[in-house]
Amino acid sequence: MTKVKKRKILLLPGDGIGPEVVSEVKKIINWFNKNKSLDFKFEEELIGGASIDANKIPITDEVFYKSLESDAVILGACGGPKWDNLEFQKKPERALLKLRKELKLFANLRPAICFKQLVDSSTLKPEIVSGLDIMIVRELTGGIYFGEPRGIEPIENNQRKGINTHTYTTNEIHRIAKVAFDLAKKRKNKVTSCEKSNVMEAGVLWREEVQIIKDKDYKTVELNHMLADNCAMQLLRNPKQFDVILADNLFGDMLSDEAAMLTGSLGLLPSASLGAKDKNGKIRSLYEPVHGSAPDIAGKNMANPIATILSLSMALRYSLDLDKEADQLEAAVQKVLDDGLRTKDIISKGKKEVTTTDMGDAIISKLK
């Protein structure tokens, strides 16, 4: 077989269960290299708490520049109680924020899909979540997480004041709205845009500018505006009314976590953070599971690697132009679930509990 050009993947296992779940991704990458002549070149580097322990900072310049040169970056997890007492700017999670900001990863895509084999794992009734397939598009580099001024400062009477600033510009809103509308055109052609225009001027701007983009460039896509707190309620009451949910950084963070739990386990859900295409059509990207570092089960070979494996699938699809291989990997995951294999987080009566490595090996065995 003729080898295709080398594609660079940077693996950042990070903290907690991150190294364990990323290890399963490495096995799958090696399988594709061996069996599909996909000549992936991958490197593994430190980030987060692991980088703090080794280098005294959450991410080194060397690792950051490697992320710039990579076709895709796959992250395990950042953070843990070991580093909770560090100064805010030195915490492990600052590495993730730096990557998002400096790589200009403004669009976060978080699918919330209820696998048919795991309907009973959801805390909601099966008829509410069966067939659920939502895509949440979250703006990732603006809003209150990045706005200035920010900080904590002393005020009179020995009090202190915390300051965060929530701002958005027209361009920031337009570019994330286009991502949502483009995704909707490939799905059910429906976008629900969420904000708090009833109490926030930034929400008023968000609503107006999303509507402008719809009226100008996406006349055939259905657009509904919804207050973010109402959306949170509707996700529990009738989640299947949604197709693509568009939200700012703060509300998107909350709504995507809520939607994730509709599916039964955070251990199943991937995410993609994407930037704009450069002049060569390349998209800078970061892929990671929705779950955190789960330090309570780290090192016990109990973690569910499916979310990280599906993050690789998203990388194949969105950054590496390998839709066929992404489909194969997703089908392999479905077949393993059909066989009744479950990690501890999704185990149910009559199913077989397996380890992290067992799950990875089983998924590889279903690849063809």
Is residue 91 among the annotated active site residues? no
Is residue 196 among the annotated active site residues? yes
Is residue 318 among the annotated active site residues? no
Tell me the C-alpha distance between 139 and 180, whole Å.
Answer: 10
Tell me the C-alpha distance between 145 and 97, whole Å.
Answer: 9
Tell me the C-alpha distance between 315 and 9, whole Å.
Answer: 9
Given 257, 339, 358, 361, which residue is catalytic? Answer: 257
Is residue 214 among the annotated active site residues? no
Given 15, 71, 91, 196, which residue is catalytic? Answer: 196
Given 145, 168, 287, 318, which residue is catalytic? Answer: 145
320 closest CA partner among 284, 273, 291: 284
Q: CB of 349 within 8 A of CB of 339?
A: no
Given 253, 287, 318, 345, which residue is catalytic? Answer: 253
Is residue 145 among the annotated active site residues? yes
Given 133, 182, 229, 339, which residue is catalytic? Answer: 229
- Catalytic residue IDs: 145, 196, 229, 253, 257
